[in-house]
Structure 1
Amino acid sequence: MRPGDRWTLAGGRWSRGGGDGAFTVTDPATGDPVGEVPVGTAVDVAAAVAAATRAAPGWAATAPAERGAALHAAARAIEEHADELAALVTAEMGKPAGDALGGVEAGIGTLRQYAELGPLHGGRSLQGGRSAADFMTREPLGIIAVITPWNDPVAIACGLIGAAVVTGNTVVHKPSERTPHTGALLTELIAGRLPAGVVDMVSGDGTTGEALAGHPDLDAVAHVGSTGAGRRIAALTAGTGAKALLENGGADPLIVDAGVDPGWAAGQAATGCFANAGQICTSVERIYVHESVSKEFVTALAARANALRTGPGRDPSTELGPLVDERHRTQVHEQVEKAVADGARLRAGGRIPEGPGSFYPATVLDGCTDHMAVMAEETFGPVAPVRAVGSFEEALAAANRSRYGLAATVLTRDMAHAQHAWRTLKAGTVKINAVFGGAPGGAATPRRDSGQGFGYGPELLDEMTAVKVVHLQTDVP
């Protein structure tokens, strides 16, 4: 684990930071303590922001190719410590070892992508009269707070920090209080390949995050996390004038059309609902299946849920690890219990196991209705709530009756239905016949309560910069 005096980074100098407050991070598989972490104070936040402010002019003036080279160096450093980072992810939030390493590798790939794209990122020119021209150039926003989540702490942080740094911004990173050891090591590896102050860090809980997001000297706050936290950040930035980039909660639907092989569809649903114990922003949160295949689909999905090997993430045979903590497990289980009380049928899982850790079984609920919280809210657990529908149109209408708009998936053999679906669904990402996947450079902007602004892809470089329009008149009398 990281040394106890390396929780705040300001201008290249590490310190313990924090006042009298501290919290303990526990291993969700065993309940054993991972380490104690100080709660960063407003003084720590101010020091980190001040360091980023001092470094900003020099970094903005650094040649784009040099910034890209520094990001490549950071990617190499992370690659050299990939196993250590993955082990920290598993220890802090329970992700199975292979998935944890995959998240680290995804972060490395993202840094390398931005290292190449950053130097090519530019504006455009407009021809005026014969003696005049306009051009639009992109400049760094300035000081960006990057507040990252626990469910994929390396990949997401690499994306946001990488895009911010390569476009000439300086960063203050606040990792989740559930994965602070991972965040501290990652920040150390990135910041160590950059000039002092370009990447800084504060550790802490929600009070630390609020102090950072509301700091008056920030130019932007980039946040991936819950809708509640995103709303609070939006309110804070509305008061300071900082830009808010938010990817928040979702209740992503999966539509299973008539004519689809129910066994194959169940495999897709199992991946979408149970990967990372359902703790992915774009996990499948509700399923609408055509009544002609619903019985076979639910039976196959329940069989897959029951067959998953549950255990600690460090066991290479584990397919379903624990939830991040017992508090979160309680919230997931309460949604399941309420759905059953309201008439849903439990087809698999749904019971808290005995023993240590915050494990929760892969759970399948049949006969759900849209008013149930397990369908309407973000469960963020290994739960597959299913509702049978009489038509494809009914499924589309139900999928759109949500205040979220992050992603949606459609499984269909009818390409006319596929075309109609992606045009109709109110989501930033629509996936046809695959719950996960997509091109490495893909990006989408979440809608409604799921957030605002592009995440990932070349478009994130646009979000991290501001456009300046210059009119150049050449004929001076």
Structure 2
Amino acid sequence: MTATATILESITVPEAEGRAIPDAATRDTIGYAPVHTVADLEAIIAAARAAQPAWNALGHAERARILHAIADDLEANSEELAAILSREQGKPLDGPNARFEVGACAAWTRNAADTVLEPEVVFEDGPARAEVHYDALGVVGAIGPWNWPMMISVWQIAPSLRMGNTVVVKPSSYTPLSVLALVEVFNRHLPDGVLTVVSGNREVGAVMASHPGLDKIMFTGSTEAGRRIVESSARNLARLTLELGGNDPGIVLPGADVSAIAENLFWGCFINTGQTCAALKRLYVHDSVYDEVVDALAGLAQAMPMGRGLDEGNLLGPLQNQSQFDIVRDLVDDARERGARIVTGGEPAGDLGPLFYRTTVVADIEDGARLVDEEQFGPAIPVIRYTDVEDAIRRANASEQGLGASVWASDTDAAVEVAKRLQAGTVWINQHGALNPAVPFGGTKQSGYGQEFGVAGLKAVAAPKVISR
């Protein structure tokens, strides 16, 4: 890479050697991603295993110093990284989108560097003492999604590097350029073999899950794909962290101040145009405030600018790929056919581009409709009326998934009591989807297992060792 070359130029390959990656909004080709094979994966894992002992030997302090230097470099290149992300994934530069995601990459990298993980004394009686120490696992395989490709990759990469592991990253085939760009900045500061991207197809990902050279698999994606990874990992007994699909419920309690919660409700549903695992996917609203909530969400949906991500001022973008567009369209059409009321949206926004779908609020809908029971992963929220809080809790818990949930109320003590009864890895009060790099995050039920972030996240990519004396 020359001094004047861009990051995008440094990560793309000639057309004859790669796979065309389209702009999510326009479908024009951004560039060509390398197409790695299983043979490439074998060589990459071998290099990662060879590099791991020396990387681990540097110690925590030196690895933390390097991670801080990487975070500085991410911030220095934030505009170009955000532009690549915006084009490939579709999310706008502004709002809680592309610039926000790149900033989160730097923040989570710094947190991984600064989080303290000391040996834990678990027993002490006179001269007898037992401590738990945390060592590197070896090589971590990180398989990421297309919705937050940079940020979620950092969730996997940064703690793994901090603990002395080397990492092999497999990005989604929809968004490889974003992850290649991220890793290019990381690798300005890392020894060869410590962090490598394998940009391949599903076959490459399947081989990763069962590869004997990987000691840990971290995966964010669908529940179906997570099950396949669990099955494959039985061959090598790799440790697993799985953050899988979610159908997150929200419950608005009677007496809620709708004007105070409306904007947080909206972004809980529609951040990243609804393409977020822990977005609010079904909203149960008490009859006393139902119409007010529906009207508030519809007003915000109609006012929120949607369009091409690189155009300043837009806050919502397209669906990232045709498959996801089809899912959203089909679920909304099914709701309409069942007699649900489409308050706003409910149709493609073809004037904006081929994969844009108007921000949609659906009212007068019940459990059993596909839009309620299935994860839409897009800009459509079903709003379900209830009259009894006990019934709302039961319906919220009826899903097989349990990633996140939220309770919305003026009485926060009452909200906490409801939150304690919801079956989810995280329950938010008067917000939804807000994450903190120091606070553990993970799912329950069929939304996966294992936790990320903070001390829990470091432990998840480490091998506990008990020393007794």
- Fold conserved (TM > 0.5)? yes
The equivalent of 2:113 in structure 1 is: 115
Which residue is equivalent to 2:229? 233
Alignment of 1:63-212 (within 5 A): 63-98=59-94, 99-117=97-115, 120-126=116-122, 130-212=126-208
Q: Provide the C-alpha distance between the structure 2 equivalents of 1:283 and 1:132, rounded to a whole number of angstroms.
A: 49
Deviation at 1:32, TM superposition (A): 0.8
Worse-matched range after superposition: 46-55 or 317-326: 317-326
CA distance in 1, matches of 2:183, 2:145: 14
Greater alpha carbon shift after TM alignment, 121-130 vs 151-160: 121-130
Could you tell me which of 365, 369, 373 is aligned with 2:370?
Answer: 373
Contact 1:249 1:281 survives alignment (8 Å): yes
Q: How high is the sequence identity, in percent, across the aligned residues?
A: 36
Q: Which of 222-231 and 88-97 deviates more?
A: 222-231
Provide the secondary structure at the position in 1 that maps to 2:44.
Answer: helix
The offset of 1:2, in angstroms, is 5.4
Q: What CA distance in whole angstroms lies between the structure 2 residues aligned with 1:394 and 1:22?
A: 53
What do residues 407-460 of structure 1 show as CA deviations (whole Å, max 9, x unaligned)? Answer: 111111234421321210000111111224354411123111111100222210
User: Which of 368, 377, 384 does residue 387 from structure 1 map onto?
Assistant: 384
Residue 322 of structure 1: CA displacement?
0.8
Q: Match for 1:390: what amino acid?
A: T
Using the size of structure 2 for normalisation, the TM-score is: 0.93
Q: Which runs of 5+ in 2 are unaligned?
A: 1-5
The CA distance in 1 between the partners of 2:317 and 2:182, in whole Å, is: 23
State the partner residue of 1:36: 32
Q: Which residue of 2 aligns with 1:288?
A: 284
Contact 1:55 1:198 in 2 (8 A): yes
Deviation string, structure 1 residues 301-348 (Cα, Å, up to 9, x no partner): 212211221110111111211110222111110011111112211111
Q: Residue 85 of structure 1 contacts residue 186 of structure 1 at CA under 8 Å; is this kept in 2? A: yes
Q: Distance in 1 between matches of 2:213 and 2:426?
A: 33
- The separation in 1 between residues aligned to 2:435 and 2:213, in whole angstroms, is 37
**Of 463, 467, 471, the match for 2:464:** 467
CA distance in 1, matches of 2:10, 2:109: 27
Unmatched segments (≥5 aa) in structure 1: 8-15, 473-477
In 1, the alpha carbon distance for the partners of 2:389 and 2:261 equals: 15
On the 8 A contact 1:2/1:184 being kept in 2, the answer is no
> Which amino acid is 1:318 matched to?
N
Q: Could you say which residue in structure 1 is the equivalent of 2:3? A: none
Contact 1:17 1:40 in 2 (8 A): no
Q: Which residue of 2 aligns with 1:441?
A: 438
Per-residue deviation at 1:41?
1.0
Partners in 2 of 1:6 and 1:319 — Cα distance?
Answer: 28
Preserved CA contact (<8 Å) 1:37 1:204: no
> How far apart are the structure 1 equivalents of 2:227 and 2:339?
33
- For residue 349 of structure 1, what is the amino acid of its counterpart? G
Correspondence for 2:358:
361
Amino acid at match of 1:44: D
Relative to structure 1, the CA distance from residue 170 to residue 345 in structure 2 (aligned partners, 3 Å threshold; closer, same or farther) is same
- Give the superposition deviation at 1:381: 0.3
More displaced 10-residue stretch of structure 1: 412-421 or 200-209: 412-421
Residue deviations 1:79-118 (CA, integer Å, cap 9, x gap)? 121111100010101111022011101110111111112x
2:423 aligned partner, one-letter code: K
Correspondent of 2:239 among 238, 243, 258: 243
1:308 aligned residue (295, 298, 304): 304
Aligned-pair distance for 1:132? 4.4
Contact 1:142 1:218 in 2 (8 A): yes
Give the 3-state SS of the residue equivalent to 2:167 in structure 1.
strand
From 409, 412, 424, the equivalent of 2:421 is 424
TM-aligned CA deviation for residue 162 of structure 1: 0.5
The separation in 1 between residues aligned to 2:239 and 2:214, in whole angstroms, is 9
Look up the equivalent residue of 2:192 and give its one-letter code: A
Kindly provide the CA deviation profile for residues 6-25 of structure 1, in whole angstroms up to 9, marking residues without a partner as x. Answer: 57xxxxxxxx699x995321
Correspondence 1:337 to 2:333: yes
Alignment partner, residue 294 of structure 2 = 298
What code does the residue aligned with 1:441 have? Answer: A
Number of positions where the alignment pairs a residue of Structure 1 with one of Structure 2: 461
Structure 1 Cα separation of the partners of residues 416 and 346 of structure 2: 36
> How many angstroms does 1:218 deviate by?
0.8
Q: Secondary structure at the match of 1:381?
A: coil
Aligned-residue CA RMSD in angstroms? Answer: 2.1
- 2:7·2:80 contact (CA, 8 Å) conserved in 1? no
Structure 1 runs of 4+ off > 6 angstroms? none
C-alpha distance in 1 between matches for 2:277 and 2:447 = 10
Partner of 2:209: 213
C-alpha contact (below 8 Å) 1:71/1:111 kept by paired residues: yes
TM-score, with structure 1 as normaliser = 0.92
- Cα displacement string for residues 200-242 of structure 1 (whole angstroms, at most 9, x for unaligned residues): 1111232222122221211110111222222211111122200
Cα pair 2:14 2:32 within 8 Å, conserved: no
Alpha-carbon distance in 2 for matches of 1:254, 1:21 = 47
